Amino acid sequence: MEEQIRKIKQESIEKIKTIENLKELADEKVKYLGKKGELTTILRGMGSLSKEERPIIGSLVNEVRDELEILFDSKEKKLKRKDLLKRLETENIDVTEPSKKITLGSLHPITQIIKEVEEIFLGMGYEIADGPEVEKAIYNFDKLNTPPDHPARDVQDTFYINDDIVLRSQTSPVQARVMENKKPPIKIICPGAVYRSDSVDATHSPVFHQIEGLVVDKNIAMTDLKGTLEMFAKKCLGENTKIRFRPHHFPFTEPSAEADVSCFVCGGKGCRVCKGEGWIELLGCGMVHPNVLKNCGIDPEKYSGFAFGFGVERIAMAKFGIEDMRLLFENDIRFLKQF
């Protein structure tokens, strides 16, 4: 048996010398030292040896196994190092080569305008409010003094989820939500998507964006509204922008007005953007109707307020010179890249 063990040892030493790859080395190691390997088999068969032989053979097997293990390990290290050197030689990286260009996206023009307007109003001490796009009809209409027979409530104009719930047709319901939850002084703007049953063309889309503004406090007057809008127009559209009010009607404001800005392209002389008018229609506004204050739990004898609301698409189109609103929603990267 001693003879056999020495033979295994010798054979294995020779083998290790000739092996040149790691896989083969691992296979050989299993063959000699593994659970079913040759040395283990000998250890298993020791039951048939005499009492005197057993410890001698046992210790010889262990000795050989330790030796072989050392040899296998050192060969493994050698082969690994050789592999590494070879890879370092062949897989060289040219760190001076230009890297792949990563193209970063940019904010959508609508988002850009919203952010810009937010900055302007934050600078004037406003807070940004938010409200649901799927809204109760009560907030979209009733609390805003818009009676059940008002034409805006028609299914022709507004998307109904059921009799009581609509896709908000304006950001104005956020006014009511804020007033119910907060005591004056209130100074908020609310940007967001709104929905109307309009067919798509160059100036209409069933979904578009508005920014609502609301201020409620003691002694708020029309002059505050005008001054605020003037300041906003100058910051957003240019220092020389002028503003004018035309009488109008909204159910939730009294008096109500539409505000125009002098054309920021031609400065008021008349051009393609203002269609020769010199003025561009900007927004709806007015003094918050006493009924609206009352509906939202604010005493109209003590407090007054102003509100305004405008379409973001219209501003984006005028500012960026976009002639067709559909471009803003088609997500064509060639179009969006320009902003």
What is the smallest separation between the CB atom of 294 and ligand DAH, expressed in angstroms?
16
User: Is residue 64 within the footprint of ligand DAH (CB under 6 A)?
Assistant: no
User: What binding mask, one character per residue, do residues 167-196 give for ligand DAH by CB under 6 A, x or -?
Assistant: ---x-x------------------------
Q: Which stretch binds ligand DAH (CB under 6 A): 80-88, 128-136, 233-241, 307-315?
A: 307-315
CA distances from 215 to 118, 135, 144, 212, 300 (A): 15, 22, 15, 10, 13
Angstrom distance (rounded) from CA 259 to CA 309: 10
User: Of 163, 174, 189, which Cα lies nearest the Cα of 292?
Assistant: 174
Angstrom distance (rounded) from CA 50 to CA 59: 15
Give the residue with the Cβ less far from ligand DAH, 34 or 300: 300
Question: Contact 268/242 with Cβ under 8 angstroms?
Answer: yes
Q: Which two tokens stand for residue 154?
A: 């028609």
Can you list the positions of beta strands (E) in the chain?
Answer: 127-128, 134-136, 165-167, 186-195, 207-217, 243-250, 253-262, 279-288, 304-311
User: What binding mask, one character per residue, do residues 73-92 give for ligand DAH by CB under 6 A, x or -?
Assistant: --------------------
In this structure, what DSSP letter does residue 204 have? B
Q: How many CB atoms lie within 10 A of CB 331?
A: 9
Q: Of 261, 307, 318, 328, which one interacts with ligand DAH (CB under 6 A)?
A: 307
In the chain, % helix, strand, coil (3-state, to 5) comes to 45, 20, 35
Give the residue with the Cβ less far from ligand DAH, 287 or 322: 287
Q: Which stretch binds ligand DAH (CB under 6 A): 6-14, 31-39, 78-86, 284-292?
A: 284-292
User: Is residue 109 within the footprint of ligand DAH (CB under 6 A)?
Assistant: no
Angle subtended by helix axes 312-320 and 109-123, to nearest 10: 110
Q: Of 57, 109, 167, 212, which one interacts with ligand DAH (CB under 6 A)?
A: 212
User: CB neighbours of 217 closer than 8 A, spacing ≥ 6?
Assistant: 184, 185, 186, 187, 303, 304, 305
Q: Of 309, 316, 317, 328, which one interacts with ligand DAH (CB under 6 A)?
A: 309
Give the residue with the Cβ less far from ligand DAH, 39 or 307: 307
**Cα-Cα end-to-end distance for the chain:** 87
Q: Of 32, 284, 296, 322, which one interacts with ligand DAH (CB under 6 A)?
A: 284
Q: Of 174, 259, 285, 317, which one interacts with ligand DAH (CB under 6 A)?
A: 285
User: Is residue 145 within the footprint of ligand DAH (CB under 6 A)?
Assistant: no
User: What binding mask, one character per residue, do residues 315-334 give for ligand DAH by CB under 6 A, x or -?
Assistant: --------------------
Residues 248-277 that bind ligand DAH (CB under 6 A): 250, 253
Give the residue with the Cβ less far from ligand DAH, 158 or 172: 172
Q: Contact residues for ligand DAH (CB under 6 A)?
A: 170, 172, 212, 250, 253, 284-286, 307-309
